[in-house]
Amino acid sequence: MATANKNLSEYDKNTIPNAKNFRFGIVVSEWNGTITEGLFKGAYQTLLDNGAQESNIIRYNVPGSFELIYGCKKMQQNKVDAVIAIGSVIQGETKHFDFVCKGVTQGIKDLNILHNVPVIFCVLTDNTMQQAIDRSGGKHGNKGTEAAVAAIKMATLEKQSHS
Ligand SMILES: Nc1c(NC[C@H](O)[C@H](O)[C@H](O)CO)[nH]c(=O)[nH]c1=O
Ligand SMILES: CC(=O)[C@@H](O)COP(=O)(O)O
């Protein structure tokens, strides 16, 4: 289902475990900063809305989405229960968009395989700035909200897998 048919900010609060005992890391790319800050605000507020404590949310900044891989690897070492990787990649004139998107996708996938701390993919890969605006608090909602819900669910899964 395309995002256009599903608002990214909509979720059933009754299906979300309470996050009060979890620690979260959020790694934010500085490229397209107005977009990534919107994504961060959505994710941060959703974590708080579902019981997370401000003192249990750690933020790192990295220059661009490609550096999310290293930043998330370091965040995984912070005794957090889940990591959210936030970036905004927007198509330019060249194929660089393809390499950045593929690189960060593969890198975050690898981190989920190599370490037992889930890393949530909150990286917008848009053709235009308007598409990014629409998905970071605009008409299609906020992918940061979606990512925070995923982070809480995956932190819960990881905890259950040890019990
Ligand atoms: N064009 C975008 C980039 N490019 C920068 C790379 O992510 C990386 O920081 C650079 O290649 C140095 O390693 N990054 C984004 O996040 N968004 C873009 O649209
Ligand atoms: C995703 C990118 O790296 C891209 O925005 C850079 O723009 P360009 O392809 O015009 O160099």
Q: Indicate the pLDDT class of residue 163, thresholds 50, 70 and 90.
A: confident
Contact by Cβ (8 Å): 52, 22: yes
Interface confidence, given as ipTM, is 0.97
Mean pLDDT value of segment 54-60: 98
Residue 60 has pLDDT above 60, yes or no: yes
- CA 62 to ligand 1: nearest atom: 9
- Give the DSSP H/E element, type plus range, for residue 5: none
Q: In what order do the strands lie in the sheet with 57-62?
A: 57-62, 24-29, 82-90, 119-126
Residue 139 has pLDDT above 60, yes or no: yes
Q: For residue 19, give the amino acid letter.
A: A
**pLDDT at res. 3:** 73
Whole-angstrom distance, CA of residue 152 vs CA of residue 20: 10
Domains belonging to the chain, first-starting first, are 32-160 (3.40.50.960)
Per the prediction, the chain carries an average pLDDT of 96
Residue 1 has pLDDT above 60, yes or no: no
Q: Which residue ranges make up the annotated binding site for (2S)-2-hydroxy-3-oxobutyl phosphate?
A: 93-94, 135
Alpha-carbon distances of 54 from 50, 69, 89, 92, 150, rounded to whole Å: 12, 24, 28, 36, 18
Q: By percentage, how much of the chain surpasses pLDDT 70?
A: 98
pTM for this model (two decimals) = 0.96
Over residues 97-120, the pLDDT tens digits come to 999 999 999 999 999 999 999 999
| CB distance 95 to ligand 2 below 6 Å | no
